[in-house]
Structure 1
Amino acid sequence: METIIPITGRVKYKITLDPGVWIFDDRKLDLNTYFSETQKNDDALEEYTKSVSKHWDREIMEGAVYPPTLKTEVKFEKEKVLTGTFGIPFKPFLVNAEPDQTAKTFVIEYGNDDQVALPLEEASGLILGFSKDGKPLKEDGPLHVYYQDGSNKENPIKNVTGFKVE
């Protein structure tokens, strides 16, 4: 099983994806809850403002010391990483590859020469699953591909070998 997944075809930059390092990525999503939660538009400025506001409120309420609650939060996050099921949005990788303006189709290659073709616009909504119960997807991985609406949540595209922009 190859653990590096290429994005090829009509792109400016042919890039490779390594799911083994995504466990450390802040963009990771908890797949146990992702499809059941209502999705919202990500606004980076709004998220930053909320995080700074939360930090400011904590300093006002508890003082500018390292409160013991932060230590337990870090421990909880560490345990969550070791036991969680995670995915990551595909959109940033597709944007970095810079598809050609004339490209219309996105192909997911999996298994033994099987393919699924999607309109390129739908590809930016894909979620790439890379971990189940704290373990990498070795049996049928290294990636599982989920549609944004979760319609294939129970039966994702497995054994992904590459992505191609056409």
Structure 2
Amino acid sequence: MIVQLNGNVNFPITLDPTVWIFDDRKIELDKVFHTPSDEETDDGKQEVWDRNEYQQQIRPPVNKSISRYERKKVLENSYVMPIRHFIHNAEPSVEATEAVLHTNEGEVTITYQQLLESLLLFALDGKPLRENGPVQVLFGDGSNQDEPIQGVHTITVH
């Protein structure tokens, strides 16, 4: 249930998606590609998730105590984690142009920019992805949200 981030990076990283459920940087899957209607917003304005603004808030997770309601909510929702946080910590080479996603079914090559904007799906209905995991990759533009890249266990930056 771990994901290796390696290749043309200064610091190869081993990621454990099972602990992200309590990480403050996680995002509910339903809120990533969904723009609320006027009825869903308090002031009548449409709220749009600003990916760039969110990704600039790189801060470590806060291990705060959570209420019983929040704990129940965490164990019922599906979540994604922006990969940008981890790429930044691995310090990839400035010459990086692509990434290879090693899956249970083979390899998928994507651009480095696609990788930076990707989200890692790590929990469905509050449970880790055991069958098609440990993570699934969703592109930041939502182009593959119906068919994410499944079974990703290693990400190699080239």
TM-score by length of 1: 0.76
8 Å Cα contact 2:103-2:153 kept in structure 1: yes
Matched to 2:92, the amino acid is P
- Tell me the residue number matched to 1:21: 19
- Tell me the residue number matched to 1:163: 155
8 Å Cα contact 2:138-2:149 kept in structure 1: yes
Matched to 1:39, the amino acid is W
Matched to 2:147, the amino acid is N
Percent identity, aligned pairs only, is: 37
- Tell me the residue number matched to 1:9: 7
Flag structure 1 segments of 5+ consecutive residues without an equivalent: 47-72
- Tell me the residue number matched to 1:146: 138
Q: Measure how far apart 1:82 and its partner are.
A: 1.1
Higher helix share: 1
Q: Measure how far apart 1:43 and its partner are.
A: 5.9
- Tell me the residue number matched to 1:61: none
Matched to 1:17, the amino acid is L
Aligned partner of residue 147 in structure 2, secondary structure: coil
Q: Aligned pairs, how many?
A: 137
Q: Show the 5 A alignment for 1:20-59.
A: 20-37=18-35, 38-40=48-50, 41-42=52-53
8 Å Cα contact 2:27-2:80 kept in structure 1: yes
Matched to 1:104, the amino acid is T
* CA shift digits 1:89-130 (9 cap, x unpaired): 000100111111222111111124x12212212211100011
- Tell me the residue number matched to 1:88: 81
Which one has the largest radius of gyration?
1
Please list every run of at least 4 consecutive aligned residues from structure 1 whose deviation after the TM superposition is greater than 2 angstroms: 43-46, 73-76
Structural RMSD (CA)? 2.0
- Tell me the residue number matched to 1:131: 123
Aligned partner of residue 159 in structure 1, secondary structure: strand
Q: Distance in 2 between matches of 1:27 and 1:132?
A: 16
Q: Residue 116 in 1 paired to residue 104 in 2?
A: no
Matched to 1:9, the amino acid is G
Q: Measure how far apart 1:75 and its partner are.
A: 3.6
8 Å Cα contact 2:5-2:155 kept in structure 1: yes
Flag structure 2 segments of 5+ consecutive residues without an equivalent: 36-47, 58-65
Q: Distance in 2 between matches of 1:129 and 1:94?
A: 16
Q: Distance in 2 between matches of 1:151 and 1:77?
A: 30
